[in-house]
Structure formats: structure tokens, C-alpha cells
Amino acid sequence: MNIYGILAIYKFEMARTRRTLLQSIVAPVITTSLYFIVFGAAIGSRIQEVGGVSYGAFIVPGLIMLNLLTHSISNASFGIYFPKFVGTVYEMLSAPISTIEVVLGYVGAAATKSIILGLIILVTAAFFIDLRIAHPIIMLLFIVLTAVSFSLLGFILGIWADNFEKLSVVPMLVITPLVFLGGSFYSTDMLPPLWQTVSLMNPVLYLVSGLRWSFYEISEVNVVVSLASVSLFMLICLGIVTYIFKTGYKLRS
């Protein structure tokens, strides 16, 4: 295992976060604060509790998941796309570093940034609501698995993308709508039976539900099913990344 190679990629990607601190950390925190102000004032005044939990507290897992998914994908996709764009990816491919080591460097950095952001949002939420976490270990497990899984997805998208516009297609047009429709800001129990069934087809519902269970022990989906789903998704992404490096898809041409 080439530890120095992994650390070189990891440190380079983490240094990029320090150079864009305002965009990477400050902006999401301000956005999260606005969610609490707007949703808490406008909707929270009409919906006092959901599942025995105040509405402000209820939306915390959804806000964390929204930021985890979008930033994991964005960080990882840009991290691998930019070397392709400037041509330095060929130097990395010719370096004495294996596929798994490249993935560990890029995905590890993207996941680390997303996890830090998720924890910052958690701390921010504590200023607005009386926050309680019933199962902190399960919460951290969900956050880490989600960050790693969607950083892998972002890595795949970064290799697939031919231009900067494609980098934002999936986060903006796919992930964000799925988060909003995945029970992040409401309980699926509020929906008619037909739409409850339809909601079960939304993969993000399993992530939000599992994370919410770790906070308040309430969920739309069994927590074991949620953990199994995100773990399976991570393994699928790993398989796709391995195939990409073995075939050189959009890397060697």
C-alpha cells in the first residue's frame, strides 16, 4: 500500500477546501440557518409535532442528508474531473499507485469534507432547537456510509462528465429533488396510502429514515433495511469504479 501516494492526493484535495472555505463551509451553514428560520417559522408554527418530535428537530436529519449527498457528489466529481480537464490525470495514471489507492485519496478527501460539514450543520442545528441523539454511533455510521457512498458516485460522475455543466446535472436535477421527496421535511405517514407506496421507491427515503431513527427512534423504513441499502449502494459504486480503472473508460482516451 502506497501510503505516501494516498496522502499526497488526500492532502491536495483537503487543501482545496481551505482555499474555498467561504463556499465549502460558510455558505452551507448560512443556508441551513435559513432553512430553520423559514421552515421553523412558516411551517413549524402550523405543524407543532411530527411523530412526537418538534418540527424543527424533525427536519434536522433531512438537512444533514441534503448537504451530505450534494457536497459528497460535488467534491468528488470536481476532484477527479479537474485533473482530466487540465491533463494531469495522465501523470497520476503513470505513477506507481494502484486503483484502490487513487480512490482512497480522492474519495477519502471528499467524504472527509462532507462528514465535517455534516457535523458542523449538526452543531448549527443545536443553536436553533433542543437536539437529542438516541444512538450517536448509528448516526455516525449512517453519516460515514452515506458520505463514502455518494463520494464514490461523485467520483464516477467526474470521470463520466465531458464538461463542467454535466457535473451539476445529477446533484441539481436528480439528488436534490429526491431528497425533498424523500421525507426530509415531512413524514410519509402524512401522505395517502398510494403515495406512501410510491415513496418507498425513492432510495433517499431509506437514508433519511435511517438517520432520523438514530436521532429520535422514529422511521418510515426499518433501520436494518436502511443500513443494508446504503451498504449495497456503496459496493455497487466500488464495483463500477474498479471497472472504470481496469478498462480506462474516459481516462486513457
pLDDT tens profile 56-104: 888 889 889 988 998 899 888 888 888 877 777 767 767 777 778 888 8
Contact 151, 72 (CB under 8 A): yes
Residue 253 has pLDDT above 60, yes or no: no
Domain boundaries, the chain: 3-40+52-247
Residue that has been written with the C-alpha cell 402524512 in this structure:
190
Return the HEC string of 70-85. Answer: HHHHHHHHHHHHHHHH
Mean pLDDT of 185-211: 86
Provide the whole-model pTM.
0.88
How would residue 44 be classed by pLDDT, with cut points 50, 70 and 90? low
Other beta carbons within 10 Å of 170: 21
